[in-house]
Amino acid sequence: MASLLTRLGVAGGSGGFGFGRKKQGDAFIASGGTKIVAGSYTYHVFLTPDTFSSSQPLSVNYLVIGGGGSSAGGAGGFRNNTTTLGTSPYAITVGNGGTYAGGGVPTAPGAYNGGPSGIAGVAFATGGGAGGGTYPIFAEAGRPGGSGGGGTNPAPGGSTVSSPDGVSPTTQGSGGGAGVDGPRIGGGGGAGGPGTNASPGPSPQSSGDGGPGSPASWAPAPIIAPAIPAPVQPTWTPAVGPTGLFAGGGAGGVEGGTGGPGGGGSGFNPGVDYTGGGGGAIGNGGKGIVIIRYLA
């Protein structure tokens, strides 16, 4: 690993598709997150709240993904765009995944939305909506979010909400799938596509699948993986893969149903951390991530 980190130029931080910066030699300083130099580009990867700052304006690509919702949860909002960042410090927010606290009664929710991620004043991704995991015997709609959570019983899935950052397009996800009778919850939405509806009984009965995530082709797993901590990295790397796939929706129920490609959880499994993936029917959502890239 040490040789790989050296080859990629990885440095622990204090802490797109860039159009570049003016070459100013050693006078240029940028900090924040974990810094990775790969080929002609420099990446800053943020897994926790931090600050990004630069000694000169930078044309960058940014990826901002909110935390995933729990319990057939929708993926965190997905924002992938280009902009110019100035020299003022930018506060970075990284959303936690929503927690699954177990079923209770309809007035005591057991599933929660993910937290938001953002680059202050630039981009904002809403956390994913929780699925209908409060009390599966009753009908409960999935909640709205970056992507909507799956509904339980005959209730509908949650909707995706527009990003409040005002950057076009404001769409940041997809809607959740609808549930049918019993605990077969519909799949949560992913950034790339909606969750599927659960299949009615009596046989065969199946839960809905999580919707697929969306690719950020400039942030593939082989480049970003050195910034991901060891306990998560073995799961994260194949989930994101060489196409940079993030924000898959969580699957509904425990009777079939597959998490969406890009970090969505299935069954009892959580969404993959640092993908913004939605949690499976009985699982937490995955943590979000923020990545900034510019010409090295």
pLDDT digits (tens, 9 = 90+) for 23-65: 444 578 999 999 999 999 999 999 999 999 999 999 999 999 9
pTM comes to: 0.90
pLDDT for the residue numbered 154: 80
Domain count, the chain: 1
pLDDT digits (tens, 9 = 90+) for 109-168: 678 999 999 999 999 999 999 988 655 556 788 999 999 999 887 889 999 999 999 999
DSSP string, the chain: -HHHHHHHT-BPPP-----B----GGG--EESSEEEEETTEEEEEESSSEEEEESS-EEEEEEEEPPPPSSSPPPPPEEEEEEEE-SS-EEEE-PPPPPB-----TTS--B-PPPPEEETTTEEEPPPPP-S-S-TTS-BPPPPBSSPPPPBTTPPPPPB---TT-PSS-----PPPPP-STT-PPPPP-SSSPPPPPBPSSSS-BPPPPPP-EE-TTS-HHHHGGGS-TTTHHHHHHHHTTTTEE-PPPPPSSSS--PPTTT---TTPPPPTTTTPPP-TT-PPPP-EEEEEEE-
Range of the domain at 57: 1-296
Q: Considering only 21-30, 75-84, 93-102, which range has the smallest mean pLDDT?
A: 21-30
pLDDT digits (tens, 9 = 90+) for 191-230: 999 999 887 765 566 788 999 999 999 999 999 999 999 9
